[in-house]
Amino acid sequence: MGTGEPDTDEAGPPLPSMRVDGQVALVTGAGRGIGAGCARALAAAGADVIAMSRTAAELDAVVARITAEGGTARALVCDVTDTAAMQAAVTGLGRLDICVNNAGIGRPGSLLSYSPEDIQAMLDVNCKAMVLVAQAAARVMVEQGRGVIINLSSTFGKNGRPFNSVYAATKHFVEGFTKSTAVELAPTGVRVVAVGPTAIDTPMTHDRLMEPAVGGDLLARIPLGRFGKVSDVVGAVVFLASPAASLITGTTLMVDGGWTAQ
């Protein structure tokens, strides 16, 4: 049974807002690509953004751009795999309404030739650090009785992909982690969701996506017929962070041009 009173406004219920004015938003991996885009988009939607990554110069550029665009942001130089420093930094925020758990790495390779070092690096960042960032954020949010954690998954969190077995496995991990923690934290008022992008055309990925053997195969799997843009992903992130998504938890919003619909 639901709780609360039925809506008796004859004009209909109020339209939900996609603004996040005054909320504090942490974005990991915010120095470039999707993370930088999420930081900019959340600031444009009214959030006070903390942009976290390992590289001060990249963060300074992101913060400067947000400030020039009229937003509020500050840089937090921290490696998410440095657990003690990361947890101290998140706890030190005092308040946290939105956590975009974006930091991640991918190292394509054959199962027959993957090095232990490459395997461990992906597990450390994509799995272990994601859990520990979410844990630190959840501890703050549970105390508040509100908040949303947005984990970055992938189409590879739904499907397999040759020469990406370990990366795909880490993104399947993100899917299970998101569902389980969403159910666990729901009674506390904290939501946990994920976003699943397809191949996103960024300065770092552009040349590889233009290779017929790589990009041609990927593009053939996307019914809408184009690669994603950072703006496609950040729109989903802002929506999930906003009051408009207040009943959404434990699921992944796919931004994949229809790839996983097949």
DSSP designation for 253:
E
Q: Is 171 a catalytic residue?
A: yes
Residue 28 makes CB contacts below 8 A (sequence gap 6+) with 35, 52, 53, 80, 99, 100, 101, 102, 103, 133
Beta bridge partners of residue 258, listed in sequence order: none
In SS3 terms, 57-117 reads as HHHHHHHHHHHHCCCEEEEEECCCCCHHHHHHHHHCCCCCCEEEECCCCCCCCCCCCCCHH
Q: Which residue has the tokens 């954690």?
A: 149
Plot region of 40 (φ>0 → left; ψ -120 to 50 → alpha; else → beta):
alpha
Dist CA 65 CA 210 (whole Å): 28
Beta bridge partners of residue 147, listed in sequence order: 190
Q: Which residue has the tokens 């703006």?
A: 231
Q: Give the CA distances from residue 232 to residues 202, 221, 227, 238, 259, in Å, rounded to whole numbers and listed in that order.
A: 12, 17, 10, 11, 15
Alpha carbons within 13 angstroms on the beta-carbon side of residue 33 total 19
Q: Is 114 a catalytic residue?
A: no
Determine which one of 128, 158, 167, 229 is catalytic. 167
Determine which one of 114, 171, 179, 229 is catalytic. 171
Backbone angles phi, psi at 15, to 5 degrees: -70, 135
Q: Read off the tokens for 169.
A: 């496995």
Catalytic residues: 167, 171
